[in-house]
Amino acid sequence: MEQNFKKGEYLLAPSILSANFVKLPEEIKSVETAGADIIHMDVMDGHFVPNITFGPKMVKDVNGITGLPLDVHLMISEPEKYVDDFAKAGADWISVHYEAAIHLNRLVNQIKDAGCKAGVVINPATPVDVLDEILFEIDFVLLMSVNPGFGGQKFIETSPQKAARLRDKIKKINRNILIEMDGGIGQNNMKMLKDCGVEVFVCGNSVFGTGDAAKAVKDMKKILNT
Ligand code: DX5
Ligand code: ZN
């Protein structure tokens, strides 16, 4: 399901990495009913990152059980080989790592040609300046606020400054590019991240690790909406 979001909206994207995979229909239904905006899906290949998750089949099956848009974060080497498969499986947003791409412009256009919103992800140690040229081509930037690979890691404290620098760049070129952040986000730092320009909040452990995902989503949406 494709949906158009605008700048100025704050969106909550629970990451199913922290959900119980054998109870996914209940887990996803509970966050959807509670007001989640997007479902974030982490694809890991054991090569680009030191962990393995799932492939297009999972995206296809999740697409069959939710009306929410699917935000597919590819943490894989040679992403160009798989982008079309994920688009066909029902991904609405696809993001690829700057660090995994040789021909980033071509890759981003491959995502758009496949009918998806295109995003570029940068790791914590990658400066936002590397995005200067590709900003003219993309729909969103995903800033990693932990090193990619695992849920439940500690938030890297220099991440808010990166968001603020990126927000200023986007303002200068006057484009509708959303800023998404991923890793270590919870109710404790959301308000501060909003103030730094983050618009899409990926939350894994702070939603599915709490024992009451629906309550966590409702509380987070309150923070985002005030
Ligand atoms: C990490 C993934 C994240 C992960 C975030 O590599 O990209 O999406 O699910 O998990 P938390 O919110 O627990 O840090
Ligand atoms: Zn992610």
Nearest-angstrom CA–CA distance, 65 and 165: 38
Does residue 40 have its Cβ closer than 6 Å to ligand 1? yes
- The rounded Å distance from CA 46 to ligand 2 centre is 15
Pocket of ligand 1, candidates 202, 203, 206: which has the most ligand atoms within 8 Å of its Cβ, to mutate? 202
Sort 177 into a burial class: Cβ within 10 Å, 0-12 / 13-18 / 19+. buried
- What confidence tens digit (pLDDT) does each residue in 145-172 have? 999 999 999 999 999 999 999 999 999 9
In the set 42, 71, 92, 139, the catalytic residue is 42
Output the residue whose Cα is nearest ligand 1's atom 10.
151
Active site residue 182: yes
Output the tens digit of pLDDT for each of the chain's 226 residues: 556 787 779 999 999 999 999 999 999 999 999 999 999 999 999 999 999 999 999 999 999 999 999 999 999 999 999 999 999 999 999 999 999 999 999 999 999 999 999 999 999 999 999 999 999 999 999 999 999 999 999 999 999 999 999 999 999 999 999 999 999 999 999 999 999 999 999 999 999 999 999 999 999 999 999 9
- The rounded Å distance from CA 203 to ligand 2 centre is 9
Output the residue whose Cα is nearest ligand 1's atom 4.
151
Nearest-angstrom CA–CA distance, 104 and 85: 18
- The rounded Å distance from CA 128 to ligand 1 centre is 20
- The rounded Å distance from CA 4 to ligand 1 centre is 24
Pocket of ligand 1, candidates 21, 182, 206, 220: which has the most ligand atoms within 8 Å of its Cβ, to mutate? 182
Q: Which residue has the tokens 């239904």?
A: 29
Architecture of the domain delimited by 11-225: Alpha-Beta Barrel (3.20)
pLDDT for the residue 167: 98
Domain boundary assignment for the chain: 11-225
pTM, whole model, 2 decimals?
A: 0.98
Collapsed DSSP state (helix, strand, coil) of residue 68: coil
Q: Which amino acid is at 97?
A: H
Distance set, CA 76 to CA 53, 142, 214 (Å) = 11, 15, 30
Nearest-angstrom CA–CA distance, 131 and 120: 8
